[in-house]
């Protein structure tokens, strides 16, 4: 029960994080926000790393592997965050939350390309989620909004990020890798902001955006990530997947309460179908993982 409550807290923090990302762009442009957010995220994990270092004897791969893994993960993280952050300029926090949640459906699909088994229930979940996405994002002219398309592209990259994490954390400590990828993502955000996007950022803007940066950086990145690690070590994996998928629901609640975003009946039906598809996909994926572990 405690683990499930921690996971529910994590989902709520991540869901309301979409609101912080929207509000933060009242003061900062997208790539500057990404850079500042992940600087805080990396700094917030340093006390956790120090605590673990004091309690445990450091083990794992050398600095070369850690640097390579951090660069790969950080680059993927930056790409996913960029699509998400820029997309929020053109769509609502509610839509962003549900469409980003499609990564739970994309993971088993991409896993199939890597030789991972994908069962019938997963495909049913994919179809249900795709129908929900159609109802949520496609208008009467059969067109999908630009912001929703960016969120969908981002969801695909978030799925790649999860698969990459699964690969690298088999050989290296997860918390250290998380901090390393946040540093790389932040550096890329600052570099793109200054060199390519031509964004101008003043200290006064960073100070004004402070509350949203603290939430989006320290709370959603540092605190929520640590809660997830602690909770998933004790939680039933099926329950964990279902509870974390509620991130999309909390995103919609946050959009309604803080941004006055309203969903019509068609969009609400789309959200319900997407959530059902995510849960089906998670149930099937987690069950197959448990079966494979038991058979081995």
- By mean pLDDT, which of 51-55, 78-82, 182-186, 216-220 is the weakest? 51-55
- Reduced to 3 states (helix: H, G, I; strand: E, B; else coil), residue 144 is strand
Helix ranges, 138-246 (H): 146-168, 174-191, 203-208, 210-213, 224-232, 237-244
Domain that holds residue 273: 2-295
pLDDT of residue 296: 43
State which of 61-75, 123-137, 276-290 shows the largest mean pLDDT.
61-75
* Between residues 167 and 117, the one the model is more confident about: 167
pLDDT band at 238 (very low <50, low <70, confident <90, very high): low
Please tell me the pTM assigned to this model: 0.87
Which DSSP letter does residue 28 get? Answer: S
Q: What is the residue-wise DSSP string for 166-194?
A: HHHTTTS-HHHHHHHHHHHHHHHHHHIII
- C-alpha 14/C-alpha 228 separation (Å) is 11
The per-residue pLDDT for range 186-234, each reduced to its tens digit, is 999 999 999 999 999 999 999 999 999 999 999 998 888 778 877 776 7
* Between residues 38 and 173, the one the model is more confident about: 38
Number of structural domains found in the chain: 1
- 2-27 mean pLDDT: 92
Reply yes or no on whether the pLDDT at 291 is more than 60: no
pLDDT of residue 216: 95
- 130-156 mean pLDDT: 87
State which of 35-44, 134-143, 248-257 shows the largest mean pLDDT.
35-44
Other Cβ atoms closer than 10 A to 291: 12
- 12-39 mean pLDDT: 96
- Evaluated on CA atoms 228, 233, 235, 237, the torsion sign reads positive
Least Cα distance to 34 among 225, 197, 166 occurs for: 197
The per-residue pLDDT for range 86-126, each reduced to its tens digit, is 999 999 999 999 999 888 888 878 877 777 666 777 778 88
Residues 245/278, Cβ–Cβ less than 8 Å: yes
């Amino acid at each position: 029960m405690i683990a499930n409550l921690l996971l529910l807290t994590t989902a709520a923090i991540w869901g309301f994080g979409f609101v912080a990302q929207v509000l933060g762009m009242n003061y900062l442009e997208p790539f500057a926000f990404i850079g500042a957010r992940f600087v805080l995220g990396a700094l917030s994990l340093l006390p956790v790393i120090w605590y673990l270092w004091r309690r445990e004897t450091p083990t794992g791969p050398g600095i070369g592997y850690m640097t390579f893994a951090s660069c790969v993960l950080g680059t993927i993280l930056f790409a996913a965050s960029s699509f998400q952050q820029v997309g929020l300029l053109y769509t609502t926090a509610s839509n962003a939350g549900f469409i980003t949640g499609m990564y739970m459906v994309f993971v088993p699909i991409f896993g199939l390309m890597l030789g991972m088994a994908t069962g019938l229930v997963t495909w049913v979940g994919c179809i249900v989620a795709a129908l929900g996405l159609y109802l949520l994002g496609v208008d009467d002219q059969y067109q999908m909004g630009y912001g929703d398309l960016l969120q969908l592209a981002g969801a695909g990259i978030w799925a790649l990020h999860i698969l990459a994490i699964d690969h690298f954390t088999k050989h290296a400590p997860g918390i250290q890798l998380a901090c390393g990828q946040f540093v790389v993502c932040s550096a890329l955000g600052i570099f793109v902001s200054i060199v390519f996007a031509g964004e101008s950022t003043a200290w006064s803007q960073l100070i004004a955006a402070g509350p949203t940066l603290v939430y989006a950086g320290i709370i959603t990145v540092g605190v929520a990530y640590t809660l997830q690690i602690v909770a998933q070590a004790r939680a039933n994996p099926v329950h964990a997947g279902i509870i974390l998928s509620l991130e999309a629901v909390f995103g919609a609640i946050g959009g309604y309460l803080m941004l006055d975003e309203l969903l019509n009946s068609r969009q609400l039906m789309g959200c319900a179908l997407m959530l059902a598809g995510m849960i089906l996909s998670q149930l099937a994926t987690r069950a197959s993982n448990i079966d494979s572990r038991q058979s081995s």
